[in-house]
Amino acid sequence: MRIGVYPGTFDPITNGHIDIIRRGSKMVDKLLVAAAENIGKNPMFSLRERREMVSAEIDAIHKENVKKGIQCEIEVTSFGNLLMHFVEQNNAGFVIRGLRAVSDFEYEFQMVGMNARLNPEVETIFLMSSEKHQFISSRLVKEIATLGGEISDFVTPQVKERMLKMINNN
């Protein structure tokens, strides 16, 4: 069984993340979408809330995959340890990462090197963001929403609703 891990903070999950999950699910038999605890990034949403948002979006992808005959099991999980330890604990052979720009590549290039030193058996697969998602980042979406901008092009209606509720309650 080919098991892949798509790690991220998903604070919040964006249409760009959803695109990578959709495309990554075509490459493996099982895809673990793993929300990182990542307290250092000062997330807007708790780990539980981020997992809930990701799970809600995964349901739609799973239904699309079934219609297309794609047999990938997609599971939402989380981790708070080293990515390579999480990958090993779940018998995964692949890490799936999205790339938006050259700046992403530089960071990811360093991470691949470090991860390869920790576990040379794990392969990293990079998926280029589609042209309509290349500029989307969770950080920018949060900033736009916090300042009263429109975020409908960047997140699903459910995520937008949760973000606005969070912003209005603070």
What pLDDT shows up at residue 39?
Answer: 65
What pLDDT shows up at residue 129?
Answer: 86
What pLDDT shows up at residue 1?
Answer: 93
* Residue with the two structure tokens 């390579």: 84
Q: Which domains does the chain have, with CATH numbers?
A: 3-169 (3.40.50.620)
- Mind telling me the catalytic residues? 17, 41, 100, 138
Dihedral, 107, 110, 112, 114 alpha carbons, nearest 10? -140
Low-confidence ranges of the chain (pLDDT < 50): none
Q: Is the backbone of residue 18 left (phi > 0), alpha (psi -120 to 50) or beta?
A: alpha
Please, are residues 45 and 1 in contact by the beta-carbon 8 Å criterion? Answer: no
What pLDDT shows up at residue 165?
Answer: 94
What pLDDT shows up at residue 134?
Answer: 79
Q: pLDDT tens across 132-168, in order?
A: 887 888 999 999 999 999 999 999 999 999 999 999 9
